[in-house]
Amino acid sequence: MSVYVWKGSPVHVVVIGVFDGVHRGHQALVQRAVARSEGGVVTAVTFDPHPAAILRPESTPAALSGVPRRVRLLEAAGADQVRVVGFNEELSQMTPEEFVDHLLGDLLIDVADDAGQTRPVDLIVTGENFRFGKGATGNAKVLAELGRDRGFGVDVVPLVTEEVPGEGATTWSSSYVRGRIAAGDLPGAARVLGRPHRIEGIVVHGAHRGRDLGYPTANIDLSLGYAIPPDGVYAGWFHTDTHTWAAAVSVGTNPQFAGTVRTVEAFCIGQTDLDLYGQLVSLDFVARIRSQQVFADVAALIEQMAHDVRQATIILGAPSPDA
């Protein structure tokens, strides 16, 4: 772990939450922490797995970001360091007092002042809906009371809302983002995330049918549990460690060929000889092109696929594959 040394007397601020997706509301929390730090260090505390996976495993929400990317996004928002807390049964049974003492005594002990002394937490910043401790009995009021006893302040930030045409005042939240994705509204999800929704996964072997149709696709393993939009065809950006390509993306069971397994397959526009098997890739969903359909024959399907690729290039502003 890194040790952060103060020059002068700035503040050690902790910002705490699940931060799934690190959407614009989460980013506002981190930015508030940066502003309150007076040039000191901001530590973001997040949890893995999502607490619901332990507390309500039957209703674990689909992920908006994997942990490594969540860390990168929190750092990009302004956090100097990120602590990923393993959420487990033991943690879920702690009282609010035990939870805070665990946080202060075990997780945040590597920040030193310029005399080499451990720097205590001066301020905790969190959203007004943050709950902690057994039975979610800890809230902002409880946290403030514990802070008075333990010597730290608490800054509770109101939830961020935005006027959305047709919806009125809408609160930015991970649940709202998941709802937009589930509805196929990728621009709506991106508005709250501040960027397109991204999934990550390993490229695995599929039916290898796309190559025979003239549109070889990368089949992305879905075992990481990301939020996936409804079945259909989408425009998106496909990323490897070294390249980014515009893509036409198929989500669904491939009913044209009596498929039963739901897949996400991306055709990297203009690329017909890629070998991506076994690589970890990421895919940004930008916009929905159409719903999943069954066509009269394979020739009609291929004609539609060509149209889908043209639509994707237009939506993404990418060079035409025929250019």
Q: CB 310: neighbour CB atoms within 10 A?
A: 16
The pLDDT tens digits of the residues spanning 33-87 come to: 999 998 888 999 999 999 899 999 888 999 999 999 999 999 999 999 899 999 9
Supply the DSSP symbol for 282.
E
Neighbours of 268 (CB within 10 A): 22
How confident is the model at residue 307, as a pLDDT? 96
* Alpha carbon of residue 49 to chain centroid: 13
Q: How far apart are CA 181 and CA 175, in angstroms?
A: 10
List Cα–Cα distances, 210 to 66, 150, 216, 246, in angstroms: 28, 61, 4, 17
pLDDT (0 to 100) of residue 3:
41
Evaluate whether 133 touches 166 at the Cβ level (below 8 Å).
no
Q: 266: closest CA among 323, 222, 182, 210?
A: 210
Question: For 26-30, which contacts have Cβ atoms below 8 Å and span 24 or more sequence positions?
Answer: 26/74, 26/77, 27/77, 27/194, 28/157, 28/160, 29/125, 29/126, 29/127, 29/157, 30/74, 30/77, 30/78, 30/79
Phi, psi of 193 (to 5 degrees): -70, -30
In this predicted structure, what is the pLDDT of residue 323? 44
- Whether omega for the bond prior to residue 187 falls within 30 degrees of 0, making it cis, is no
Instruction: Please state whether 42 falls in left (phi above 0), alpha (psi between -120 and 50) or beta.
Output: beta
pTM reported for the whole predicted model: 0.90
Domain annotation for the chain: domains and CATH numbers: 4-161 (3.40.50.620), 198-316 (2.40.30.30)
Low-confidence ranges of the chain (pLDDT < 70): 1-10, 106-119, 320-323
Name the nearest CA neighbour of 262 among 297, 232, 217.
232
Structural element, H or E, at residue 4: strand 4-5
For residue 237, the model assigns a pLDDT of: 98
Strand partners, 232: 251, 291
